[in-house]
Amino acid sequence: MMSVGRRYAVCVCVCSVGCKTLALWLAKCENMADDEEVVEPLHLDFEDREVYLAKIPTALGASWKNIKESELMLGSIKLEKGSIGGRRKGMLTVNPSTLEDETTPTEYRVEIGSTPLKLKVFSQDGSGRMAIEGTVTNTCTLIAQRNDQYSKLCKQRLIKSMVKTRIVQPLEDLPRVKKARIQFTIEKAEAEAEEETSDAKFNDRVDKKVKMSKDELKNLVFHHFEEREFWPLKELNYHCRQPESFLKEVLKEICVYHRKGPNKSCYELKPQYKDGKG
């Protein structure tokens, strides 16, 4: 509980439940009656007491959650006289002794408004005694006041967020780890796959290729097309000895690639190059 400027009772950090909990409690009473057990009555002395359902910052709630004393003063609220749009504003000053962390702000802006929700606040002590502590009539939102204390808290949060929580550990340092060869397979385009599988006998030939100019390569390609009309890529490159991607680039300019038919996977000069050779 905390004191307010006009002696309003404000309850924070409570579990607010409705008629469903009351129904469950009554059902429990009936079951226990069948078992001939004694059930404490539900005390309704404070049912009409006004209670505020408060939404509080995480850091403040973490400190208040661990409080064991039932009559400890959490703080005091000073409310403004008038209201704007049905909401009243004020300032909350928290009792520093209720805070676990010195960096937790002690000043908060307060906004209070009515609520259409029909909620009750229940309590239960160690002996099992249950009571209704009040009825929720208003909602209350606490917002930390932007001051030096709040800036210090934000700075500490930023520093904590920059601390690396994950580490990289070499595989050699991990016990019982079997290192296996990892292979990646990248599927090739259909046209390229056809070209590379057409003449597999040339796949084992690996040698260094000196890249010539595009015009020189075109002349060399024209020369080989004088010998025969259709050429597979691998077989033609066996004579040209150029980077395959470079040869394909030139062939796309001057040739037609056959994807099906009797000359499948072969290149043929475009009609405009067959007579005059470009």
Q: Predicted confidence band at 124 (pLDDT cuts at 50, 70, 90)?
A: confident
Q: Are residues 49 and 89 in the same domain?
A: yes
pLDDT in tens, 197-231: 555 555 545 445 678 898 898 889 998 888 889 99
Q: According to the model, what pLDDT value does residue 4 have?
A: 38
Task: Say if 171 falls within a structural domain.
Answer: no
Task: Say if 184 falls within a structural domain.
Answer: no
Range with the poorest average pLDDT among 27-31, 92-96, 100-104:
27-31
Number of domains within the chain: 2
Distances (CA, A) of 79 to 50, 52, 88, 135, 215: 16, 14, 7, 21, 88
**CATH code of residue 219:** 1.10.10.10
Which two structure tokens, joined as six digits, stand for 259?
Answer: 């994807």
Q: Are residues 113 and 217 in the same domain?
A: no
Q: What are phi and psi of 178, to 5 degrees?
A: -95, 120
Q: Which of 4-13, 36-45, 80-89 has the highest mean pLDDT?
A: 80-89
Give the integer Cα–Cα distance in Å for 191 and 188.
8
> What's the domain range around 54?
3-158
Task: Say if 170 falls within a structural domain.
Answer: no
